[in-house]
Structure 1
Amino acid sequence: MNRPLAEKVLGWIETYPVAVMLAAMALRGGFLLTNGLDLIGDEAYYWEWSRRPDWCYYSKPPMVAWLIGLSTWLLGDYTVAVRMPTLVLGTVFLWFFYTTARAFYGARGGALALLLILATPINVLANFLMTIDPPLYCFWIIAIYYLRRALFDGQARAWLWAGCASAAALLSKQAALALPAMLLIFLVTDSQRRHLLKKEFPLYLLPILIAAVPILWWNQQHDWVMFGHSRSHFGNHEPVTIGKHLQWARDFLLYQILLISPGGFALLLLSSLRAAFKFGKLGAEQRFLLLMGPALLLGVLLLSFLQKAQGNWPMPFYFTGLILLAGDRVAGYWRRSFKYALAFGFLMVVTTYALPILLQAFNLQNTALDPTKRFKSWRELAIDVHFERLISVPNVDDTFLLALGHRYLASELAFYLPDHPRTFRYETSGEVSSQYEVWPGPLEYVGKNGFVIAEQTADALPVALTTAFERFRFLAEIANPERQGAKYYLYLGENLKYWPDPIKRRANKEGYVASDN
């Protein structure tokens, strides 16, 4: 692309940003409706949460479950309905991202930032997979938008709106606590705005504190399980070699490069480091952008050398980093490299959208080179399980399903079985390791039948489970479509006598009172 053409494209985007966003929404909507890919495990797991609305869950606050619940209440329990909130959230995100960048760096900065975010593969996934990330990203950038208006435009009501957006972000993921923390650092280090700590900052905190109350109350009622889960992600629980530390850092870095694009990640990192080294000389707006994202990103990059870090942890920290990078480009930095980074980023985005077609064209579907393979197996498994259920019990309406193994097995079958049965999980370790162990077992099904699916043969099943039914028998061996040669085993438990809660049984062994009744 020669420079005059690039300038024309930028000028057009500056003039018609809404058209760009609507085109992006149309592309995402078309992909959402036509891709044919099943829900991944986390999506089905959060759908399970949505069937039991609450103020918090085992590992995360409730926003993802609320949004899925609203969408499926309106549209039904379909794959597209579960994912539909991503389309709405992603479009709202684009608008606030663009308007925030434009507020900092003018129409040209807004156009450049819009191009940057559209050229990141993570923007494809965040507008397709309904996990905790789409609501977090949306409410995070809304909070940044209103904080900018409050801090630099002096709009008093913007403090409350920023607080509400930050509260919604907190209801999406615990990482949103970084927003008030970094804002506090900014206000403390900015002598001209330090006075805002007296009145405006408490006003901003008020909605966040209100949102935190039900989360804290729920955790108090459930042994602080969410906090225990979050704490388990930090630190090394056993000695680790230097080689392992380097492997963790390498894997984390590759993850960032793939989700942001190589050129975009490199430029953003250089831009952030440049701003960090000049922190004392930066204007207040640039210091705000640096603290609200890139500084946190640099911190997570450092953390990845010390422990295993999840690849999606720093994603919201990229937003103000991309705006800062757009501002650098407006100021004349990274001219040639910026163009190449955008071009390669868009190539990765187009490849991501075209992946189902490319895999079919090159006959790579369901091979080891097919990254969409894990999206395709659950519906097939559910069909096989449902067939075997109907053979053994013609009317399955008054039965339940019990899964041994990963939480994904329970949640995916709950979603893809046509009757969406009440599904439970038996955790043989006696540990609370998913939301299924937080919920009560199938106590309301005492006296009724249940199907049990596991990867274990009958002789390897827990005796406490099999003897909890009046009769327990093997039904069928079902191929695991995700792993060649692996099997699932389906059993029928007739007349459940009591629920052998493995959590209570473990507590009983440790000296606490527990009962099977």
Structure 2
Amino acid sequence: MSWVIRVAHGARAKSAAQLSAFLMLFTPLSCRRMSLTPDPDSPTWLKRFWWLLAAVFIARVGVMLLFVNGADLAGDEAYYWDWGRRPDWGYFSKPPMIGWMMGVIGWLTGNAEWGVRFAALLLGTATLVVIHRIALVLFDARTAFLTAVLVLLTIANAGLNLLLTIDAPLLLCWTLGLLLFWFAAQKPTCNTRWIALTLVIGLGTLSKQMMLAFPLLMLAFAAVSREDRPLLRNPRLWLTILAGMAFIIPVLKWNQEHAWITLEHTKHHFDTQSLGFGQWIGRTLENVGLQALIYTPVTFVALVAAMLAAVRHRSKLTRPALFLLLASAPALACFALLALRQRINPNWPAAFFVPAIVLAAAWMRGGLPSLANPGWQRWSLRVGGAFVIIVHLALVIVFTTNLKVVNKLASIRGWREAGIEAQKFLDQVPRPEQTFVMVLSHRYHAAQMAFYMPSHPRSYRWEPSGTPQSQYEVWPGPEERLGHDALILDPSPGRGLLENPVFTAAFEKIEHRGDIRIVLGQQTREFSVYLGTNLKSWEPVRP
């Protein structure tokens, strides 16, 4: 295999008995273990995987610490952290899992940045272990090792292990779902496996709406795979689907009580606009280009080639290959068609790329009816490795040389300093116990200030449209603080707030208290600071 795979050549083989003990992991203990006949090299490749995983984990801890030292939380991370301070069954745009997770992380680590970063690393590492396990169960140890390396050598995986978003718990639940459904299909009478799958579907549904598509995958495989069609007559399959999706009932109830705010927000993801032919071509190529970038170009093309090869020889596919094809190609084809209509966020189809990568690794290793040219594996690893090395070197250079001229990086820098300066103003107000913080403009501003002001104050946000545009408008607003003062942070230039009729009418008096200015290379992060005295009235935001 290629140089990436040869890095672990010095590892000694374990015995077949040790392999069998390892393969019992993730297999429900109350049901008889599946018989396994590993090839003689399997223990060696398994040991290589664990050594590789340990080395990558240590390296990523180093990158994490560098990132924590040189960058602040991303806007979404701070936003979800603020959700975690008020656990609920739903939030403006997402199911509740990410908020619950952030609440637990904040409680365990004292609201430390490293806690958020380390949680992302743990979830990403666990997902990689499950992906390796899927390939191991469906094919063999060499294919599983290659799958893990292909995953590691993508920019998408690097980001998953560094930034904590809703995709981290979703992908863990999705991959566990694939593994557990395969186990259940192997022994349909094993109740333990179906119960575990039910729990995973339920937790995934609480993580991201995309998990609602997982039962369709199960039904498609049961319908298409001749050997598995009896599953459609197995009540365990239907009970698992119904019980797993029932986890969303409290979320639906919460949405009903809040004017279906999450559904309304989700609908806007499918808004489109009329474009000229040139603009349409540009947007379509942008969608494809972003996917090729985050999965690295050669690997991305290899995934497409593997799926096309599997479709061409679908009548000759083994059950494992058919399972992976149905778990990836139909959904990715739907996203490809959707990309012709609108812009696609790069993370939307992420769950379906997981089985596609396993399928591509099997194709490269001869696990499909048509064998891939050896160049696919060699160049996928070389180009993927080059991309990932370049990305990590760029991070090291940026954060060790204090380079602050990149716009995207500037968006995650300077918040800590701004929060400390804002806290100084809050500490000097005349009525500290009766003063709340209001942050204007984007929701990220309110979230970042809530996180980085040392006192972590409850942060309010003013929405000029008068309709909910974030979770801050779903929660009670300043109307619950009548008679109190407000420290108002406005990132807009000038001092227009002193003439804004909404604020001059709401407060007894508004005065400018100073400015916050954080230099970020060629850019600055600025806030004008005001003190509103004695809130007299405030119009609540209504859905």
Q: State if a TM-score over 0.5 links the two structures.
A: yes
Q: Write the letter of the residue equivalent to 2:244.
A: I
Go from structure 1 to structure 2 and tell me whether the alpha carbon gap of 1:385 and 1:106 turns closer, same or farther (over 3 Å shift). same
Distance across 2 between alignment mates of 1:8 and 1:233: 48
**Alignment partner of 2:514: what SS?**
strand
Which residue of the partner structure matches residue 442 of structure 2? 406
Go from structure 1 to structure 2 and tell me whether the alpha carbon gap of 1:443 and 1:328 turns closer, same or farther (over 3 Å shift). same
Are 2:431 and 2:485, in contact at CA under 8 Å, matched by a contact in 1?
A: no
Which residue of the partner structure matches residue 490 of structure 1? 529
1:149-203 deviations in Å (ceiling 9; x for gaps): 1123546232221221121111111011121112222222234322312313212
Are 1:397 and 1:419, in contact at CA under 8 Å, matched by a contact in 2?
A: no
What count of residue pairs does the alignment treat as equivalent?
500
Are 2:106 and 2:112, in contact at CA under 8 Å, matched by a contact in 1?
A: yes
1:109-159 deviations in Å (ceiling 9; x for gaps): 111111111111111111111111111111110001101111235462322
Q: Write the letter of the residue equivalent to 1:47.
A: W
Which residue of the partner structure matches residue 41 of structure 1? 75
Q: Does 1:421 align with 2:486?
A: no
Are 1:160 and 1:203, in contact at CA under 8 Å, matched by a contact in 2?
A: no
Superposed, 1:464-479 pairs within 5 Å as 464-479=502-517
The structure 1 residue matched to 2:363, chosen from 328, 333, 342, is: 328
Superposed, 1:227-242 pairs within 5 Å as 227-236=263-272, 238-242=273-277
Q: Write the letter of the residue equivalent to 1:384.
A: E
Which residue of the partner structure matches residue 338 of structure 1? 377
Are 1:160 and 1:207, in contact at CA under 8 Å, matched by a contact in 2?
A: no
The structure 2 residue matched to 1:219, chosen from 244, 247, 255, is: 255
Distance across 2 between alignment mates of 1:248 and 1:136: 27
Distance across 2 between alignment mates of 1:165 and 1:367: 43
Go from structure 1 to structure 2 and tell me whether the alpha carbon gap of 1:137 and 1:495 turns closer, same or farther (over 3 Å shift). same
1:293-340 deviations in Å (ceiling 9; x for gaps): 232123212211211111111111111001101111120423122112
Which residue of the partner structure matches residue 358 of structure 1? 397
Which residue of the partner structure matches residue 25 of structure 2? none
Go from structure 1 to structure 2 and tell me whether the alpha carbon gap of 1:388 and 1:177 turns closer, same or farther (over 3 Å shift). same
Q: Write the letter of the residue equivalent to 1:165.
A: V
Instruction: Identify unmatched segments of 5+ residues in structure 2.
Output: 12-40
Which residue of the partner structure matches residue 429 of structure 2? 393
Distance across 2 between alignment mates of 1:99 and 1:22: 16
Go from structure 1 to structure 2 and tell me whether the alpha carbon gap of 1:178 and 1:425 turns closer, same or farther (over 3 Å shift). same
- 12-21 vs 328-337, greater mean Cα deviation: 12-21
Are 1:455 and 1:488, in contact at CA under 8 Å, matched by a contact in 2?
A: yes
**Alignment partner of 1:471: what SS?**
strand
Superposed, 1:75-224 pairs within 5 Å as 75-154=109-188, 156=190, 157-198=192-233, 199-224=235-260
Distance across 2 between alignment mates of 1:378 and 1:102: 44
Q: Write the letter of the residue equivalent to 1:78.
A: A
Which residue of the partner structure matches residue 417 of structure 2? 380
Which residue of the partner structure matches residue 55 of structure 2? 23
Which residue of the partner structure matches residue 282 of structure 1? 317
Distance across 1 between alignment mates of 2:460 and 2:328: 40
Go from structure 1 to structure 2 and tell me whether the alpha carbon gap of 1:432 and 1:494 turns closer, same or farther (over 3 Å shift). same
The structure 1 residue matched to 2:308, chosen from 252, 256, 273, is: 273
Distance across 2 between alignment mates of 1:180 and 1:343: 36
Cα distance, 1:75 vs. partner? 1.0
1:183-236 deviations in Å (ceiling 9; x for gaps): 222222234322312313212213322211111111111111111111111141
Distance across 2 between alignment mates of 1:232 and 1:109: 41
Cα distance, 1:394 vs. partner? 6.5
Distance across 2 between alignment mates of 1:75 and 1:475: 34
Q: What's the TM-score once normalised by structure 2's chain length?
A: 0.86
The structure 2 residue matched to 1:455, chosen from 467, 491, 494, is: 491
Which residue of the partner structure matches residue 499 of structure 1? 538
Q: Write the letter of the residue equivalent to 1:104.
A: L
Distance across 2 between alignment mates of 1:235 and 1:197: 36
- 241-250 vs 254-263, greater mean Cα deviation: 241-250
Q: Write the letter of the residue equivalent to 2:218.
A: L
1:329-376 deviations in Å (ceiling 9; x for gaps): 120423122112112212222333333322367x571113x7533221
Are 2:9 and 2:48, in contact at CA under 8 Å, matched by a contact in 1?
A: no
Go from structure 1 to structure 2 and tell me whether the alpha carbon gap of 1:401 and 1:360 turns closer, same or farther (over 3 Å shift). closer
Cα distance, 1:15 vs. partner? 2.9
Distance across 1 between alignment mates of 2:146 and 2:336: 25
RMSD over equivalenced CA pairs, Å: 2.4
Go from structure 1 to structure 2 and tell me whether the alpha carbon gap of 1:409 and 1:481 turns closer, same or farther (over 3 Å shift). farther
Go from structure 1 to structure 2 and tell me whether the alpha carbon gap of 1:246 and 1:3 turns closer, same or farther (over 3 Å shift). closer
Are 1:476 and 1:490, in contact at CA under 8 Å, matched by a contact in 2?
A: yes
Instruction: Identify unmatched segments of 5+ residues in structure 1.
Output: 508-517
1:2-45 deviations in Å (ceiling 9; x for gaps): 79947948965433422322322222222222322210100000
Are 1:479 and 1:488, in contact at CA under 8 Å, matched by a contact in 2?
A: yes
Q: Write the letter of the residue equivalent to 1:92.
A: A
Go from structure 1 to structure 2 and tell me whether the alpha carbon gap of 1:334 and 1:401 turns closer, same or farther (over 3 Å shift). farther
